[in-house]
Structure 1
Amino acid sequence: MPKIVDHDQRRTEIVEAFLAVVGRDGPAAASSRAIAAELGVGAGALWHYFDSLDAVVAAACRRVLERTDARITSATEGRRGLAALDATLREILPLAKQTVDEAQVVVGFWGRLATDRQLAAGQSDALDMWGARLRRHLAEAVDDGDLVAGVPADCLAEVLLSIAVGQQVHAVLDGARTDPQHQLGLVRHCLTPWTRTYATKMQNGCPAGSA
C-alpha cells in the first residue's frame, strides 16, 4: 500500500523547520536546502507541499502572527487596563529570543512578501486586531482612573503599535538598539503624559519628575 501522508502535518513540519533555521542562523540562511536539511529530506521534497519558498515564508509569517495572538490572549487573561496593555505589548516587542526570532521572520522577509496580497491582508488584520486591543485597554485604564479622561486612545494605540513594529525592525537591523528596558521606556514615555499622577503635577505647576 502507498504510504499515507498527512499533508497538513507535513506543511507544519516544513514551516517549523524554516522557523528553526531562522532562529538559529538568521533569515538569510533559510534557503530551501537548509530547510530540507533541517528535516533530513531532499530539497525537492518540499515542493510536494508548497509551490515555492515564498509560500513557505508566507505560511511561516502567518504562523508567527497566530502564535503572537495566542500569547497575547493568554497573557491578558484576567487583566485589564494598563496591566493588559503592558502584557499585550510585551508579546509583540522583541524583548526576548522568541520575539526577536519572530521579528527576524517577519521583518527580514518584508521585501519578498510585499507582493503576497494574502499575507499582507493577514498581517493587516493582525495589526488591526492588536490595535483594537490596545484601544480597549486604554479605555479600561481611563475607567480605572489610571489615565486621564481626555486620552486620545485611537492615536495613542497607533503610536504604541508603531513603536512595537519599529522595534522589530531595529531587532533585525541593529540588535544593540533593542535593549528591553529601552523598549519599555519608550512605551512609558508615551503613556506618562496621560497618567493622572503626571496630570496632577502639571496642574500644580510642578514639572514632571521633580520632587
Structure 2
Amino acid sequence: MPRVVDHDERRRQIAEALLAVAARDGHEAVSSRAVAKELGVATGSLWHYFDGFDDVVRAAAAEITRRTDERIRSATMGLRGLTRLDALMREVLPVDDGTRTEAYVVVGFWGRLTALASSPDAGSPTFATWQDGISESLDEAVADGELSPATPKHSLMSLLRSITYGQQVLEVTEPHGAEAHLAVLDSILSPWRA
C-alpha cells in the first residue's frame, strides 16, 4: 500500500529545510540541491510539492511569519498594555539567538522577495501581521494610564514597525546586544509614558 503523505506538512518541512540551510550556511548556499540534501531526498522530489524554487522561497517566507506569529501569541497570552507590547517586540527585535538568526534569514530574503512581489504571500516576513497586537497594546496602555492620552498611536505604530526592520538590518550589518535594541524601543515610548 502506498505511503500517505501530508502534502501541507511536507511543504512545511521543505520550507523549514531552506530556512535551516540559510541560517547555518548563509543565503548564498541556498539552492534546491542544498535543500534536498538537508532533507536527505533527491532534488527532483521537491517538485512534487512546489512548481519551482521561487515557490519554495515563498513558502519559507510564510513559515517565518507563522513561527513569529506563534511565538507572539505564546509570549503575549494574558498580558496587556506595555507589558504585552514589550513581550511582542522581544519576538520581532533581534534580542536573543533565535531572533538574531531570524534577522539574518529575513534580511537575506528581502531582495529576492521584492522580485517575487506579484505573489500574494511574497512579502510575508516583512508584512507586519502583528500590527493589530501593537495597536491593541497601545490602546490598553492608554486606557490603563501607562501612556498619555495624547499618545499619537498611528505615528507610534509606524515607528515601532520601522524599528523592527531597522534593528534587524543593524543586527546583520553591525551586531548589537539586546540592550541596544531594547533601548531604541524605550526611547520611542519614553516621551509618551504617563
Common fold by TM > 0.5: yes
> Which residues of 2 match residues 166-181 of structure 1 at below 5 A?
166-172=166-172, 174-176=173-175, 178-181=176-179
**How many aligned positions are there?**
192
Give the counterpart letter for 1:164 in structure 2: T
- Alpha-carbon distance, 1:53 to partner: 1.6
CA distance in 1 between partners of 2:87 and 2:4 (Å): 43
Distance between the aligned counterparts of 1:37 and 1:84, measured in 2? 40
1:184 aligned to 2:186? Answer: no
1:34-113 aligned at under 5 Å gives the runs 34-113=34-113
Give the CA deviation at 1:65: 0.5
Give the Cα–Cα distance (whole angstroms) in 1 for the partners of residues 5 and 77 of structure 2: 37
Root mean square deviation, CA, Å? 1.8
Q: 4+ residue runs of structure 1 moved beyond 4 angstroms?
A: 121-124
Q: Name the amino acid aligned to 1:11.
A: R
CA drift at 1:24 = 1.2
Any conservation in 2 of the 1:131–1:158 contact (CA below 8 Å)? Answer: no
Q: What TM-score, normalized to structure 2? A: 0.90
Q: Cα distance, 1:36 vs. partner?
A: 1.0
Residue aligning to 1:119:
121
Q: Which amino acid aligns with 1:135?
A: S
Secondary structure, in 3 states, of the residue corresponding to 2:50?
coil
Deviates more, 1:3-12 or 1:61-70: 3-12
Q: Distance in 1 between matches of 2:41 and 2:184?
A: 45
Residue 201 of structure 1 corresponds to none
Counterpart of 2:193 in structure 1 is: 195
Match of 1:118, SS state, is coil
* Distance verdict in 2 for CA 1:139–1:44, change over 3 Å: same
- Taking a change above 3 Å as real, the CA distance of residues 93 and 33 of structure 1, as seen in their structure-2 partners, is same
SS in structure 1 of the partner of residue 130 of structure 2: helix
* Partner deviation per Cα, 1:93-123 (whole Å, 9 max, x = no partner): 1112222222233221212111233124645
Equivalent pair of 2:61/2:122 in contact (CA under 8 Å): no
Q: Give 1 or 2 for the bigger CA radius of gyration.
A: 1
Structure 1's unaligned 5+ residue stretches are 197-211
Output the TM-score relative to the length of structure 1. 0.83
- 1:207 corresponding residue in structure 2: none
Query: Is residue 2:136 matched to residue 1:136?
Result: yes
In structure 1, what is the Cα distance between the partners aligned to 2:107 and 2:45? 27
